[in-house]
């Protein structure tokens, strides 16, 4: 078995999940210049709802494809409602406030969501019901399961849909206009508040899909999973150039590969001093390095202002 | 038909209503301002107030023990510790306006530095009076190391980078038990030497003038002394040239730079100063607790300290002290919620300890939305954030917004 190829493959699968979450950060940042701290928690919410609904329905004997669809729908509904509510309650009133104010409420919201989930679902891990028959395929010396292929396929289709939405539809044009200049877009007849709410809704829907896929990938969901995931996805968005949609895709995939290769080889590189349990620090190191040396990210053309 | 004089009366009623409303809005603020004005301006009242406060602080642990029990003395000790930490973070967040979400990293550095060099972990037992200041110095060094490359970033990026730094430190603490066991991993370090006084450990009860002083009481006085020192430093910093430079940077960095302030160095100084206090707090925590583990240094701890600063009033020392006391004391009241649920509903629905962080989260959101200046803001800050004429704010913000473009 080819270890390098296997690690790269794992990295790409993980990376497609990061990319989906990173899109949510990048879209909100593009429009509001706000780091939506609570986005990771929305992914967590999506995963928890999806796993609960799926477990409930399969226990009732509902056919698997139908149960999956219902779980997805429920997760999307809950996440979109939460995302829009959070925007309305915690961000909109502070749109003209000093920059730190919405960031602090975002942290507050993220803690609230996390703790509500903990009270509602408890502290234990929810396991993804074994509804999918796992088949393993050999591919040029590396292995991939059908679930992993499904994850990548769903992620690709969803992100393709998002690109179409942003580039081809009226709403997408309104989003791009708002991102460029909120005041002028308003003068041109764009209902800015609705567009911003729609951005949060779309980002949250992506988060819901990502949540379901992540739960399927790891086989578990936990109230605590959103925080670290959100940070990594944010790092991915910054790596690609925050506010830039293709950048989020690229950043997500790259981060996934770097993490997976790093975790695989860090032991050899440091002579056994650091082991694979340091996997989580790569995202932060990349984040810090990118912010220091190229704050606009790989694909970002605007130089981030340093005021 | 209107009677003559009716108009005048109506005007009077409106006048009273309007004034009542504005009084209700600002009554707490006015009361505190009035009090502090009186204390600042009238030296006689100030002297009496200080003597009364000093006496109260001296006998407080005994009052608390008599009224609420020994546990509350320990809670009081922790409250003091958090006052120090919050004042340290206040330098970074409140004075210089830099959002630091990884403050707990410096706290952890101080705590582990003390723990490793004064415990059976390596068989080293260096004296506390050497370790506490060195630990603060090491934390300061970490602050400079993190601050030097990142402080040119914009505020929200800085927040995320500091957060990431906090996580990196925690991951290292968790995993540095192999191949060389430095931090003892998730188990943490045990049996840390306490602070000693004349050869006697401060954790043991001691007799002083026929009065038995328990460990909790002794630590209270130690922490009280250091807290007063930190408060003193914080006040002096605030009114110093550096303090004014911090305020200038907080209000408008471009203008501050134009006025000849070396913004990078001054920001770095704020960061390092905050980290120093964090390191000192960490060392004290390790000595007081006798045990450290990565569990104590999570992001939630950072956010709790941030909560103290924001809730109390960013940049206002009495406000931050109030915030720290509230945030440490109030969750202790939550333990009464369990029995209350039992009585009202018949069984415990929500574990009270689960509610703690939830309430902090709600607190952060509510304070930022409805009282961004905090519970007890400095008079200047309060006027800025809530001027008499709302249009003025709008104009100022518009101007600010244009400047940011």
Is A32's pLDDT higher than 90? no
Residue B386: its pLDDT value, please? 56
Alpha carbon separation from B91 to B100, B233, B309 (Å, rounded): 10, 11, 10
Is the Cβ–Cβ distance between A46 and A174 less than 8 Å?
Answer: no
| Residue A115 to residue B97, Cβ atoms within 8 A | no
Which segment of A71-75, B29-33, B278-282, B295-299 scores lowest on mean pLDDT?
A: B29-33
Q: Is B399 on the interface with A (CB under 8 A)?
A: no
Q: How confident is the model at residue B357 (pLDDT cuts 50, 70, 90)?
A: confident
CA B281/CA B113 separation, integer angstroms: 12
Helices (H), chain A: 3-32, 39-59, 64-86, 100-121, 146-168, 170-180, 182-187, 192-218, 225-240, 245-269, 281-293
Q: How confident is the model at residue B47 (pLDDT cuts 50, 70, 90)?
A: confident
Residue B217: its pLDDT value, please? 83
Q: Nearest by CB to B365, from A105, A116, A118: name it.
A: A105
**Per-residue pLDDT tens over the stretch A4-17:** 888 899 899 999 99
Q: Is B206 on the interface with A (CB under 8 A)?
A: no
Q: Which residues of B touch A306 (CB under 8 A)?
A: 152-154
- Min Cα distance B376 → chain A (Å) is 17
Average pLDDT (B185-198) is 85
| Residue B179 to residue A273, Cβ atoms within 8 A | yes
Average pLDDT (A246-268) is 87
Domains and CATH numbers, chain B: 46-333+355-398 (1.10.3470)
| Residue A287 to residue B161, Cβ atoms within 8 A | yes
| Residue A108 to residue B363, Cβ atoms within 8 A | yes
**Per-residue pLDDT tens over the stretch A166-210:** 999 999 999 999 988 888 999 999 999 999 999 999 999 999 999
Residue B381: its pLDDT value, please? 64
| Residue B160 to residue A90, Cβ atoms within 8 A | no
Is B167's pLDDT higher than 50? yes
Average pLDDT (B201-211) is 69
Residue B2: its pLDDT value, please? 44
Give the SS3 label for residue B207: strand
Alpha carbon separation from B119 to B188, B194, B374 (Å, rounded): 11, 10, 41
Q: Nearest by CB to B364, from A107, A119, A306: name it.
A: A107
- Min Cα distance B132 → chain A (Å) is 29
Percent of chain A with pLDDT over 70: 95
- Min Cα distance B194 → chain A (Å) is 32
Q: Is B149 on the interface with A (CB under 8 A)?
A: yes
Residue in chain A closest to B178 (alpha carbons) equals A273
Q: Nearest by CB to B368, from A104, A234, A273: name it.
A: A104
Q: How confident is the model at residue B46 (pLDDT cuts 50, 70, 90)?
A: confident
| Residue B369 to residue A115, Cβ atoms within 8 A | no
Percent of chain B with pLDDT over 70: 80
Average pLDDT (A252-277) is 80
Residue B26: its pLDDT value, please? 53
Q: Nearest by CB to A280, from B171, B179, B303: name it.
A: B171
Residue A303: its pLDDT value, please? 44
CA B402/CA B405 separation, integer angstroms: 5
CA A218/CA A116 separation, integer angstroms: 22
Residue of A142, A156, A148 whose CA lies nearest to A214: A148
Between B184 and A272, the more confident residue is B184
CA A129/CA B166 separation, integer angstroms: 35
Mean pLDDT of chain A: 87
- β-strands A220-221, B200-201 pairing: unpaired
Between B216 and B275, the more confident residue is B275
Read off the pTM: 0.82
Q: Which residues of A touch B150 (CB under 8 A)?
A: 288, 291-292
**Per-residue pLDDT tens over the stretch B51-68:** 888 888 888 888 887 888
DSSP string, B89-111: HHIIIIIS----S-HHHHHHHHH
CA B87/CA B319 separation, integer angstroms: 10
Q: How confident is the model at residue A304 (pLDDT cuts 50, 70, 90)?
A: very low
Residue A30: its pLDDT value, please? 87
Mean pLDDT of chain B: 81
């Amino acid at each position: 078995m080819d270890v390098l190829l296997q690690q790269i493959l794992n990295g790409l699968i993980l990376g497609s999940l990061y990319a989906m979450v990173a899109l949510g950060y990048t879209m909100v940042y593009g429009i509001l210049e706000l780091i939506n701290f609570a986005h990771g928690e929305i992914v967590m919410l999506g995963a928890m709802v999806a796993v609960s609904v799926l477990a409930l329905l399969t226990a009732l004997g509902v056919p698997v494809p139908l149960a999956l669809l219902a779980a997805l729908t429920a997760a999307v509904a809950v996440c979109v409602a939460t995302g829009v509510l959070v925007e309305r309650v915690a961000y909109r009133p502070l749109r003209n406030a000093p920059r730190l104010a919405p960031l602090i409420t975002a942290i507050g919201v993220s803690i609230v969501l996390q703790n509500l989930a903990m009270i509602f679902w408890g502290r234990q891990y929810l396991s993804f019901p074994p509804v999918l028959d796992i088949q393993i395929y050999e591919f040029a010396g590396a292995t991939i399961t059908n679930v992993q292929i499904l994850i990548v396929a769903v992620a690709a289709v969803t992100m393709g849909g998002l690109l179409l939405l942003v580039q081809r539809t009226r709403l997408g044009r309104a989003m791009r206009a708002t991102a460029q200049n909120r005041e002028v877009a308003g003068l041109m007849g764009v209902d800015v508040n609705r567009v911003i709410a729609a951005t949060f809704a779309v980002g949250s829907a992506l988060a819901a899909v990502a949540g379901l896929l992540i739960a399927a990938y790891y086989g578990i969901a936990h109230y605590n999973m959103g925080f670290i995931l959100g940070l990594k996805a944010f790092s991915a968005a910054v790596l690609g150039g925050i506010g830039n949609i293709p950048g989020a895709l690229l950043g997500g995939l790259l981060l996934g590969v770097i993490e997976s290769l790093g975790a695989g080889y860090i032991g050899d590189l440091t002579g056994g001093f650091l082991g694979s349990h340091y996997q989580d620090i790569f995202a932060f190191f990349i984040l810090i390095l990118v912010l220091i040396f190229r704050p606009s990210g790989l694909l970002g053309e605007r130089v981030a202002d340093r005021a | 038909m209107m009677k003559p004089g009716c108009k005048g009366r109506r005007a009077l009623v409106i006048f009273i209503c309007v004034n009542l409303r504005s009084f209700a809005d600002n009554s707490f603020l006015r009361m505190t301002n009035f009090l502090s004005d009186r204390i600042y301006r009238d030296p006689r009242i100030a002297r009496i107030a200080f003597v009364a406060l000093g006496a109260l602080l001296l006998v407080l642990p005994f009052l608390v023990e008599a009224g609420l029990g020994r546990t509350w003395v320990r809670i009081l000790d922790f409250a003091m510790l958090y006052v120090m930490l919050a004042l340290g973070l206040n330098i970074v967040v409140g004075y210089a306006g830099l959002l630091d979400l990884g403050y707990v990293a410096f706290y952890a550095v101080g705590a582990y530095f003390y723990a490793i060099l004064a415990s059976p972990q390596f068989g080293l037992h260096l004296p506390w009076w050497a370790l506490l200041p060195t630990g603060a110095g090491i934390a300061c060094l970490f602050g400079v190391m993190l601050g030097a490359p990142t402080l040119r970033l914009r505020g929200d990026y800085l927040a995320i980078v500091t957060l990431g730094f906090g996580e990196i430190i925690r991951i290292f603490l968790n995993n540095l038990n192999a191949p060389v066991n430095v931090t003892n991993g998730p188990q943490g370090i045990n049996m840390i030497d306490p602070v000693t006084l004349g050869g006697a450990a401060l954790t043991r009860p001691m007799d002083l003038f026929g009065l038995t002083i328990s460990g909790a009481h002794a630590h209270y006085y130690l922490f009280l002394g250091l807290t007063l020192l930190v408060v003193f430093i914080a006040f002096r910093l605030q009114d110093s040239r550096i303090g004014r430079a911090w305020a200038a940077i907080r209000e408008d960095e471009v203008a501050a730079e134009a006025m000849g302030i070396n913004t990078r160095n001054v920001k770095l100084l704020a960061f390092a100063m905050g980290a120093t206090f964090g390191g000192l707090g960490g060392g004290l925590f390790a000595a007081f607790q006798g045990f450290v583990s990565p569990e104590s240094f999570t992001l939630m701890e950072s956010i709790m300290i941030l909560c103290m600063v924001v809730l109390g009033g960013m940049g206002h020392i009495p406000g931050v002290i109030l915030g720290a006391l509230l945030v440490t004391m109030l969750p202790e009241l939550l333990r009464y919620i369990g029995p209350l649920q039992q009585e009202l509903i018949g069984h415990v629905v929500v574990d009270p300890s689960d509610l703690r962080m939830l309430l902090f989260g709600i607190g952060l959101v509510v304070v930022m939305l409805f009282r961004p200046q905090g519970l007890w803001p400095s008079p200047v800050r309060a006027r800025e954030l809530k001027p008499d004429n709302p249009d003025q704010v709008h104009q100022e913000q518009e101007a600010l917004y244009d400047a940011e473009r």
